[in-house]
Amino acid sequence: MVKRIAAAVALGLGVSWSMMAMAQETVKIGVLLPYSGPFADAANQLQAGIDLYIQKHGDEVAGKKIEIIKKDTGGPNPDVARRLAQELVVRDGVDILAGFALTPEALGAAEIADQAKKLLVVMNAATSVITEQSPYIVRTSVTIPQLNYALGKWAFEEAGVKQAYTLVSDYGPGHDAESSFSKGFTEAGGEIVGSDRTPVANPDFSAYVQRVKDANPEAVYIFVPGGAQPAAIGKALVDRGLAPPDVKIFAQGELTHPEALESMGETARGIITTFHYTLERDDPLNNEFVAGYREANNGRAPDLFSIGGYDGMHLIYEVLKKTNGDASGDALVEAAKGMSWQSPRGPMSIDPETRDVIQTVYIREVQEVDGELQNVIIHEIPDVKDPLHGAQ
């Protein structure tokens, strides 16, 4: 397999001198996202972040024209991502692979990036081990352990919670969230008094929440996908008296996305979440980003996918500047290691050892501001690395 890919890459790139001359004038970026299917909205939000960055900073860098070539995985589909990545390298002659809203697709394309020696920029997928699959992978998004390990420690050390119950969706991200929150919480001195996992698709939370109530914990940690589930689990908790201030509710930021807050209403008040990007963060860069994004997207607000795409393009532009337009994978990866910048999300950098993102983790609480419920930052944890990097 390795030899076939290498041969195909060599054949595809060993073209005429005229095409090589064209390549010297253009940097091609192949973006793989699930533009259709169940994750199409996430893909479109990420693409909008990419587009906004190019709109603001132009489509030329270090004397090279930036060309985006989009491929739809319809995912999650790792086999399709692998095939499309190979097509992008061999047929389209891309210099950089980017996008990857979903972990399986990032893992599917990793082999191609490795054999073709192409920079691969992960703009969303959040499983720790992704960057270990190839030395050419750099991540500009977040990892689930990065957020939830920090939240677990904070819950014990700062919020004073001694006992907690975990309730998460029964799939990979939920498992990662559960294990990392529990690790941070118990290492700090806390006790997990119970844990449960719910079906991913349209669960009835009543039986699960009743078990939480029977355990009588001080706090509940929750991880569920977006969509209808935040409102459903919020209502189930309130119906059984498991709501702030009587019981602390902790979660990853998706639980209280702006769209989720609209559907949850008063049941969201007092929920504490952890995230790497907060829409309402009052900072000149973020205010400018939010205003520009809304203007370009019919008033819609940016989200975690949007900021991942935006910062992914920032990294690509800056590494090309550092290499004076040299788009070879080795040069770009070396330029990315240790890079730091100010993002709308706050200060961030790339760990030179793991090629993973280092950033501020925000602890937010749902509070009423000017008559509306929103996520208010109550604590900031700077310079957080992925604590479980390499865990299998």
Tokens 């739809």 appear where? 72
DSSP character at residue 225: -
Beta bridge mates, 369:
372
Asked if residue 76 has a cis previous peptide bond (ω within 30° of 0), the answer is: yes
Q: Which two tokens stand for residue 248?
A: 């602390």
CA dihedral 139, 312, 258, 48 (to 10 degrees): -140
Q: Read off the pLDDT band of 135 (50, 70, 90).
A: very high
Please write the tens of the pLDDT for every residue from 296-335.
Answer: 999 999 999 999 999 999 999 999 999 999 999 999 999 9
Compute the distance between CA of residue 164 and CA of residue 176 in angstroms, rounded to an integer.
17
Q: Is the model's pLDDT at 18 over the cut of 80? A: no
Res 227 pLDDT > 90 = no
Supply the DSSP symbol for 268.
Answer: G
State whether CATH 3.40.50.2300 applies to domain 145-275+361-384: yes
What are the structural domain ranges in the chain? 2-142+285-355, 145-275+361-384
pLDDT of residue 257: 85
Cβ-defined contacts of 55-63 (< 8 Å, 24+): 55/292, 55/296, 56/292, 57/313, 57/317, 61/27, 61/316, 61/317, 61/320, 61/321, 61/325, 62/320, 62/321, 62/323, 62/324, 62/325, 63/325
- Give the per-residue pLDDT at 20: 42
Query: Model's pTM, two decimal places?
Result: 0.88
pLDDT number for residue 202? 67
Summarize pLDDT for 20-34 with one digit per residue, the tens: 444 458 999 999 999
Q: Per-residue pLDDT for 8 more than 80?
A: no
State pLDDT tens for residues 235-286.
888 888 888 988 999 999 988 988 788 878 888 899 999 999 999 999 999 9
Question: Tens of pLDDT along 188-208?
Answer: 999 999 999 998 776 789 999
The CATH class that applies to domain 2-142+285-355 reads: alpha beta
Averaged pLDDT for residues 345-352: 97
Tell whether the model's pLDDT for residue 92 goes beyond 90.
yes
Here the tokens at position 381 are: 């944890």
Check for a shared fold between 2-142+285-355 and 145-275+361-384: yes
Write out the E strands in 117-199: 119-122, 137-139, 163-169, 191-198
Q: Tell me what the mean pLDDT of segment 76-93 comes to.
A: 96
What pLDDT band is residue 71 in, cutting at 50, 70 and 90? very high
Tokens 């929750």 locate to 222
Q: Which single residue is written with the structure tokens 């952890």?
A: 274
CB 122 within 8 A of CB 131: yes
pLDDT over 50 at 11, yes or no: no
In this prediction, residue 239 carries a pLDDT of 87
Please, what is the average pLDDT of the chain? 91
Query: Got the DSSP string for 315-347?
Result: HHHHHHHHTTT---HHHHHHHHTT-EEEETTEE
Smallest Cα–Cα separation from 177: which of 155, 203, 144?
144
In angstroms, how far is the first alpha carbon of the chain from the final one?
24
Give the pLDDT confidence of 156-185 residue by residue, as tens digits: 999 999 999 999 999 888 899 999 999 999
